[in-house]
Structure 1
Amino acid sequence: MNKKIIFLVFIVAFAMISCSTKSGQFDVTDYGAKGDSLHINTLEIQKAIDDCSQKGGGIVIFKKGIYISGTILLKDNVTLHISEDAKLVGSSNPYDYQSIDTFVDATGQERGNCLIGSIEASNIGIVGKGIIDGNGTAFTYENILAKKKIFGIASNNKKFGTNRPFLLRFVKSSNIKIKDIELRQPAAWTCHFYQSNAIDVDNINIYSHANHNNDGIDLDSSFNAVIKNCRIDTGDDAICFKTTSPLPTYDIKVQNCTLKSEWGALKFGTESMGDFYNIHISDCKIEDTRGGGIKMLSVDGGNIYDIEIENITMNQVDMPIFIRLGERLRTYRDAEKQKVGSIDNINIKNIIATTRDIEKSRVSPPSGIFMTGTPNHRIGKIKLQNVDITLPGKGKISELKEVSEQIDKYPEFSFFEALPAYGLFGRHIKNIQMSGMNFNLENTDERASIIFDDVIYSINDGVENVKKQ
């Protein structure tokens, strides 16, 4: 090739990149990415992101195609746009991922790998009507064993493939926007925000059932976030507020979301070292959820207060409301152990719920509300207004056992087994105020409607059949 041809090729290539730079758009195919569902595009996509950020920011575009990739990191002022006919898919090779801010979660598993991540980045986003798929089935136990044989790795090597990749992971980042995108099948959590702020999540779809611990959205020691108009269907918690560091999670709004889960729809904890406050959840629907509708759990030292939850409809949901103050006191990230936390000033109102049938319930017969502190640490003020729960009934007093305390155990309502009240069982509480409470039975139930045990002060406006132990 003579010098003139080389010069012309350089001019054309420069013009293409220059044109995309001027418009603020950076097409990943201009950097060598191939949407052929075969090529591993990690380096090419990262090059497009880096170039976009270095040139002042803009949009990195994925046009029609299926793009396979390992870990890519967002940089300042970069938004990924996944077009409607485009899909970004996680590689099935564990070696294609990197761990950022590695930590150990409440299940004892190492976390940190991700498909898309950010560290101390600002003004970043993921938008478009395309799909990001984590290819989570590639990281099931059986498939990891198969990969060990392919790569010649000893079967007793416990590290290979155990740090299952999250789909999206934002660490100490700010001004984050996620809109319209469909997020599918990660190997672990779907969308994790850690010590991040100014978060806007709007109109996204999440479907996450490929593996274990498939949370939807986790806000972890983060603040100033809005989650709205989302549809989330997960194998684990749908929307979860966490504090795996002593820093709080606060100033959060969740609005107009439809949730379905195999473990919990709206959950505070269990990782709960830091505080949770000023969180408002409204106008959400919870469908066919096995693990509980609203779960509020402080067991590692966090203080949960100034929480308002209103206008929630639940259909076929195990244990619509579960509130637990415990003394597990687990630590994370080498932080010091906290003192026992608190739960106070919780306002839950305008709730309409139907529990699951007895045959489908994790606890049979089910109850509507369970709130318990410990003998030495009572829950503070709880206010319940206009709560209507329909239950199957069929409880028999002869089949009940004494309700255990489980002071320092994992806080799950099913571990306490059937309760002596079908409507509400409240224990170790300082102040509970109730009005407009209705518990509707489809069959007779020998248990009481409401039982209080070690409740110091209560106001029961129009609530009948309250028994104290």
Structure 2
Amino acid sequence: MHNTADAKLRTPLLFLLLAWLSFACSPTGKKGVSVMDFGAVNDGSALTSEAIQKAIDKVSADGGGQVNVPAGTYLSGTILLKDGVTLFLEKGAEIIGSNSLNDYTNIDPFTDAVGQQRGRCLIGAKGAKNIALKGEGAVNGRGERMVYTKKGQRSMRPFLIRIVDCQNVELDGIETRNSAAWNIHVFQSSKVRLTNLRILSQSEGNGDGIDVDSSNDVYIGGCDINAHDDAICFKSTSPQACRDVKVENCRLSSRWGAIKFGTESMGNFENFEISDCYIYDTHGGGIKVLSVDGSNVSNINIHDIEMNDVDMPIFMRLGARLRTYRNAEKRPVGSMSGVSIKNIKIHGKRWKKWRMEAPGTIFITGIEDAKIKDVSIENVDAVMYFNNKAEKEEVVLPENRERYPEFIFFGKKLPAYGAYIRHASGVTLKNVKLTVRNNDERSFVKVVDVDNLKLDNVQTNLAPAEGVQQYVFKDTACVKGHKPLLSSM
């Protein structure tokens, strides 16, 4: 016979155990509150952002917790995350954006590098701590459905997710689609984790995947991004530095750049490691490091990257546009030093869909009074599909000190198909092998105004065209370890 007291003790313990097991085994980790309990509508028929906001506000006021969005379609304008709140999108849940600008709040106005008025968003947070957006659901901006009733309104189109002045932020697992503008913008925030995100945004131009802006202690990992504009872009639209960032194990595709620093570049870019990423079907640059608004770029480590079907694989630019943002004072010309790009496999554009008539593989250019310094590009194996005739006259690229820093603005043709380097100091190319599948009669390497250049085992499969120098060194000093090799690759 069982002891009655023991039986009474076991009953509540058994209940608690069963309750815990029920929670632990549920597919969503079911906890917190449901937006449905606050009047949300999940058939996409009515604007339901007010109900979702009530749920977030209540949970935050009660000390924090999880707000669940069950399966269904939720038509929404701006939703703001608050302290301590995790917004959890269950499998089958989709938040879709309203097509009216009036339903979006501008949580932090600014004007970007091309003069567009920015700041509205579908899901946002400002000055919040310990917030998260997680789950297996989706956020769909429906950018293609936005209605603009007045001239100039299109430049105000909303971002999808905007994080401003926040700490301890996590975005994990969700899918974002069809943003009207940038998908995810993180500004002046710290301790941010962006993981396992799927970003599909081809409906509108300027649809960047992830923009990290004047922020620090940021981790991006395991993301799959297919964006109309830059896939991952680091910006500084304020004098505050963008620093201590790690990116790894991402798949990236873009109509423009895959991995990009700038163009908005007031604050410094410091301490970046980007590794183990696959870049494919990218039309405007694989790796782009740009400083044109006063940013000092230092300690950038990019390694173990594979590119497939990519135009202009490596582009670096130090310029003097010196644009200002948010009423900040104009900064002096910046600097670029300590950039390492290593272990890169490249398969270039297969057909003539290049942005330039005669592009190249590596393009580095500073300006006369601000040279790019201490750059190391090592262990590069590239296959490209160039097919250009030699020019009768020397191709001289414009300086473009103050122009928007895209390689397409330096003319239709680069003077070299392998590497063109200008206004730099301390550049090392080591173990760089380039195979051209067609034929190109331009120079393989052309260097202009470079100090302390080191070339070590830099190869091409093409013999020089008649009357064309394979290696051109103009106003260049200290060419060390120069070992040009030809092979029958």
Common topology (TM > 0.5): yes
Aligned mate of 2:188, from 182, 195, 218: 195
Aligned mate of 2:268, from 270, 275, 279: 275
* Cross-structure match for 2:471: 466
Question: 1:32-431 to 2 correspondence within 5 Å?
Answer: 32-139=39-146, 143-144=147-148, 148=149, 157-158=150-151, 160=153, 162-398=155-391, 401-416=395-410, 417-431=412-426
The amino acid of 2:42's aligned partner reads G
The amino acid of 2:442's aligned partner reads R
Work out the CA distance in 1 between the residues paired with 2:270 and 2:471: 30
Classify the secondary structure of the residue corresponding to 1:309: strand
The Cα of 1:444 is off from its aligned counterpart by: 2.0
Work out the CA distance in 2 between the residues paired with 1:364 and 1:285: 26
**Larger of the two Rg values belongs to structure:** 2
Q: Deviations over 1:15-43 (max 9, x none)?
A: xxxxxxxx851100000001011110111
Work out the CA distance in 2 between the residues paired with 1:403 and 1:458: 20
Work out the CA distance in 1 between the residues paired with 2:340 and 2:43: 52
Classify the secondary structure of the residue corresponding to 2:181: coil
Q: Deviations over 1:397-430 (max 9, x none)?
A: 2277321111110001112221111100000001
The amino acid of 1:443's aligned partner reads N
The amino acid of 1:236's aligned partner reads D
The amino acid of 1:360's aligned partner reads K
Query: Which runs of no fewer than 5 residues in structure 1 stay unpaired?
Result: 1-22, 149-156
Query: Which runs of no fewer than 5 residues in structure 2 stay unpaired?
Result: 1-29, 460-469, 475-489
* Cross-structure match for 1:435: 430
The amino acid of 2:41's aligned partner reads K
The Cα of 1:463 is off from its aligned counterpart by: 2.5
The amino acid of 1:457's aligned partner reads N
The amino acid of 1:297's aligned partner reads L
The Cα of 1:160 is off from its aligned counterpart by: 4.3
The amino acid of 1:394's aligned partner reads N
Classify the secondary structure of the residue corresponding to 2:37: helix
The amino acid of 1:247's aligned partner reads Q
Classify the secondary structure of the residue corresponding to 2:387: coil
Q: Is 1:457 the counterpart of 2:457 in the alignment?
A: no
* Cross-structure match for 2:441: 446
Task: Report if the CA contact (8 A) 2:391-2:442 is conserved.
Answer: no
Task: Report if the CA contact (8 A) 2:184-2:209 is conserved.
Answer: yes
Classify the secondary structure of the residue corresponding to 1:210: coil
Task: Report if the CA contact (8 A) 1:261-1:289 is conserved.
Answer: yes
Classify the secondary structure of the residue corresponding to 1:108: coil
The amino acid of 2:457's aligned partner reads G
Count of aligned positions: 433
Work out the CA distance in 1 between the residues paired with 2:36 and 2:125: 22
Task: Report if the CA contact (8 A) 1:397-1:420 is conserved.
Answer: no
The Cα of 1:443 is off from its aligned counterpart by: 1.7
Query: TM-score with structure 1 length normalisation?
Result: 0.90
Aligned in 2, Cα 1:408/1:159: closer, same or farther, shift over 3 Å? closer
Aligned in 2, Cα 1:452/1:159: closer, same or farther, shift over 3 Å? closer
Q: Deviations over 1:367-410 (max 9, x none)?
A: 10100001221111100110111111322222773211111100
Task: Report if the CA contact (8 A) 1:299-1:325 is conserved.
Answer: yes
Work out the CA distance in 2 between the residues paired with 1:388 and 1:414: 24
Q: Deviations over 1:327-356 (max 9, x none)?
A: 000000000000000110100000011111
Classify the secondary structure of the residue corresponding to 1:398: coil
Task: Report if the CA contact (8 A) 1:66-1:89 is conserved.
Answer: yes
Classify the secondary structure of the residue corresponding to 1:259: strand
Task: Report if the CA contact (8 A) 1:201-1:226 is conserved.
Answer: yes
RMSD: 1.3
The Cα of 1:358 is off from its aligned counterpart by: 4.5
Classify the secondary structure of the residue corresponding to 1:352: strand
Task: Report if the CA contact (8 A) 1:358-1:364 is conserved.
Answer: no
